[in-house]
Chains A and B, each alone.
Chain A
C-alpha cells in the first residue's frame, strides 16, 4: 500500500540496522516517547534487530495509560447518571476504574458510545436535545485540537447539552521530569511524531540543550523507528545534542499553527496528575473559564472524587524508562489486559499491554531474538 509499504521495506531496514551496528561503540538507552512507537517496536520485533548495547525503553506517551484513576472514576460516575450520553474514544472503554469499566456501565444500562471524532458528539446532542452529552476529552497535544474544536463549536452554536470531561497532558514537561530524576537512565529520545505534527518541535530545543540529550522527532512505521534510532545514536556517538526531525514528510519546526491557536483559545495550561507518575506542574490543559458551561467536571460535581492507585504496580517506573514490563513479577500473571493492575497494562498503547498483545508474556523475549542475517530474507 502506497505511503506504507515504503516504510516497512525489509531490505532498507537491513541497511539501517547494519549501519547502527557499524557506528555504535558504547551502550545507549533510548526512550521512544509515544505509545504508538512502542506498539510498532513490539509489533515488528524492532528491538530484537538492534545491537545488544542499544536498549529501547518505553516512554510516557500513552494517553489512555497516564489518565489518572480518579479521572476514570469521575467518568464512570458521570456515565452512570440518568439522562447522560457518555461518549469516548474506543480504547477508554476497557480501562477499569475502582469499580468496573465503561463496558460494565453499558451492560448495566448506561448510555456509553464510541465516537471517532469529538465532533460526532454535536450530532448526538442535536438528535437527543433532552440528554446531556459528555465527551471524555483525553490525550496529548495530538488530540487537543479536535477536542478543543468540540468545546469551541458547542459554545458557538449554543449547544448547552454538550460538555467535556478534560484530562489533557503535555509531552515536554514529562520529558523534563524524566530527565530531572536522579535515577534517569535515558540518553536520547525518539520524539513524539504526531504531537509535533500539531505543536512543531521548537519547544523541545531548550530541553535538548539544558539536559544535553538528542531528541529525534520520529514517526511510527518500522523504518521511521529504525532511522530515528540511527539518527539518535549518530548524535550520541559524536557528542551532539540537538533536536532533529526524522518525520519531515509530516511535520516541520512550526507545526500546525491554526490548530495551536484554536487549542490555546480553548485550553489553558494547568498542573496535571499522571497515572503511575504523580502530579507534574504545568503538564496539562484545562478548559478556560469562558468555557465553564461546557466543563463536565464542574457541571456534574465530580471534582472531589479522589482515588489512590494500587501500590504494587511498577508502571510509574516503566513510564520513566527505569524498568521494563518483564521486570514485574505480576506481568502476565496477576496483571493482564483483562485484569490490569496499572497504567501501562490498561491501554493497547501501554508498554505492558503491547508486550502482552505480542505474546512476550508467553516466553522470555530473549528466545525470540532473530539473527540479524535473516533480515530481508522474507519470501
Chain B
C-alpha cells in the first residue's frame, strides 16, 4: 500500500496547490535554500509547506512563466479575445468508494471547482486513467459511471482521454487525472491577491466533512452515523454569487477572492490568501460551522477541523457593501444553505490570520505543515 495513511492526500503533487506568490512570512524567517529531501515523502503531496517547497525548489525553476508564477488554483489565459480558465488535478484517493462519493465524482467535481474559483463557466474535461492490472472491470465501470453522472450534473463534457495499465503492484487500483477548461464571461479578476481591508470573509457551509469521511472509512473508525463527504460541483453556487455582486451585468467588482479549501482546509486557504494579498484576517471561532459528527471524530483523533479537507465548500472574500446580499444568495442555493460570515480582512498583521477563540483568547492560523497526524493521547 503506497498510499497515504495520514490525512487526506487525495490530490497529490500538483502545481495548483496554493503556494504563495509573495515570499511568504512563513519562509521569511527560515529560508530553505536547497531541496534537501533525498526522497519524496508523503508530506510533499499534502498541500502544505512541504508541497510549497517542492514546487519552489523543483518545479518552478524548470517551468517558470508569468501565468504559472501566479500559483493560483487555475491558469487564466487570454486567447483570441476570450478569457479561458485551465486547470488539472490528479486523484489517488483510497478508498475508491466512500460515503458521499467516489474517486470518479471527486475527479470531475475537483477540476470543475478549480475552474469555478476563477469565476469561469466550466466547459470541457479531459481524463487520463492509470489502471493497475487486475482491477475488476466492474469497479472501473462504477467509477466511470459516476464520472459520467457528475459531468452531466455539472454541465460539462468529457471530450478526450487516455488509458494506461501498469503491472500489478505498480499502482494502487486506479489513479485519475482530469484536466478542465472553462470560459470567464464576466470582466473583472478574481484572484487570491485581491483581498482588501474591510472585506468580509464568507464560508459556504460545514467544514471538514470530506476529510473525516475519508479518514473514518480508511481507518475503519466507526462513528455514530457515517460522515458523508461533501463532494460537489460549486460552479452554479459561484454563478449565483457573482450575479449578486455584479454591477452592470458585465463586471465582477465585489467578489475579490474565491477558493475551495481542499487539502490543508480553511485555515491553510485563508493563510494563503492573506499572504498573497498582503493583508491580515480576523476570524470568530464561534461562527465556524462544524457538524457534531465531524467535531467528535476530530476530537477523538486530535485533529483540527480547520485543517481538514473539503470537496464541496468555498471561501469568498467580498466587499463589505455586498457581503450581506451575496450571503443571502448563497443561502438560496442548496450548496450554500449553511453559508456564514466568518470574519473580515484587516490592514493589521499582513500575511497573518488571527482568530478570536470561543473563550475570548486569540490564536493564529498558519499554513498546514505536512499532514495532520492523529495524536498519541
Q: Are A374 and B360 in contact (CB under 8 A)?
A: yes
Contact segment of B141-149, B256-264, B349-357 = B349-357
Residues of B within 8 A of A363 (CB): 349, 352
Whether the pair A368, B354 counts as a contact (CB closer than 8 A) is: yes
By a CB distance below 8 angstroms, the chain B residues around A91 are 373-376
* Contact pick for B359, options A49, A116, A140, CB 8 Å: A49
- Number of B interface residues in the complex (CB < 8 A): 49
Query: Are B39 and A44 within 8 A (Cβ)?
Result: no
- Stretch of A271-279, A301-309, A314-322, A329-337 at the chain-chain interface: A329-337
B139 within 8 A of A: no
B374 A114 Cβ-Cβ under 8 A:
yes
Interface of B is mostly: loop
Query: Is A375 a contact partner of B40 (Cβ separation < 8 A)?
Result: no
Chain A residues with CB under 8 Å of B292's CB are 1
B332 within 8 A of A: no
Chain A residues lying within 8 Å of B359, measured Cβ to Cβ, are: 8-10, 13, 44-46, 49, 222-223, 226, 375
Known: A89-B374, A107-B40, A379-B286. A1 touches B295 (CB 8 A): yes
Query: Pick the contact of B358 from A47, A142, A222 — CB < 8 Å?
Result: A222
Q: Which of A356, A358, A362 gathers the greatest number of chain B CB atoms within 10 Å?
A: A362
The answer to whether the Cβ of A171 comes within 8 Å of any Cβ in the partner chain is no
Asked if B373 and A104 make an inter-chain contact with CB atoms under 8 angstroms apart, the answer reads no
- Cβ of B376 and Cβ of A143 under 8 Å apart? yes
- Interface positions, chain A 182-241, Cβ under 8 Å from B, are 194, 222-223, 226
A251 within 8 A of B: no
Q: Does A42 count as interface, using CB distance less than 8 angstroms?
A: yes
Query: Contacts of A42 on B, CB cut-off 8 Å?
Result: 363
In contact, A332 and B29 (Cβ under 8 angstroms) = yes
Task: Report B307 CB to chain A, min CB distance, Å.
Answer: 10
Q: Are A114 and B5 in contact, CB atoms less than 8 angstroms apart?
A: yes
Whether A92 contacts B357 in the complex (CB less than 8 A), given A1-B292, A107-B41, A359-B364, comes out as: no
Contact B29 A63 (CB under 8 A): no
Contact, CB under 8 Å: B295 / A4? yes
Number of interface residues of A (CB under 8 A): 68
User: By the criterion CB–CB under 8 Å, are A370 and B361 in contact?
Assistant: yes
Chain B residue with minimal CB distance to A372? B360
A377 to B285, CA, bound (A): 12
For B17, what are the chain A residues with a Cβ–Cβ distance below 8 Å? Answer: none
| CB pair A13 B360 closer than 8 Å | yes
Whole-angstrom CA separation of A135 from B292 in the bound complex = 32
With both beta carbons as reference points, the residue of chain A lying nearest to B354 in the complex is identified as A368
Task: Answer whether A63 and B361 are a contact pair too, CB < 8 Å, given A332-B29, A333-B30, A378-B284.
Answer: no
Which A residues lie at the B interface, using CB under 8 A?
A: 1, 4, 8-10, 13-14, 17, 36, 42-49, 63-64, 89-94, 103-104, 106-108, 113-114, 116, 138-140, 142-143, 194, 222-223, 226, 332-334, 336-338, 348-349, 356-363, 367-370, 374-379
Additional pairs, 16, CB under 8 Å, beyond known A337-B369, A349-B375, A363-B352: A64-B376, A90-B373, A94-B370, A103-B43, A106-B41, A116-B374, A142-B377, A194-B377, A334-B30, A336-B30, A357-B369, A359-B354, A360-B364, A368-B354, A377-B360, A378-B358
- Interface residues of chain B, those whose CB is within 8 Å of chain A, are 5-6, 25-26, 29-30, 37-43, 49-50, 219, 221, 284-287, 292, 295-296, 299, 301-302, 349, 351-352, 354, 356-366, 369-370, 373-377
26 contacts between A and B (CB under 8 A): A1-B292, A1-B296, A10-B286, A43-B357, A44-B359, A44-B363, A49-B359, A49-B361, A63-B377, A89-B376, A94-B373, A107-B41, A116-B374, A194-B377, A223-B359, A338-B369, A348-B302, A348-B375, A356-B366, A358-B366, A359-B363, A359-B366, A363-B352, A368-B364, A374-B356, A379-B284
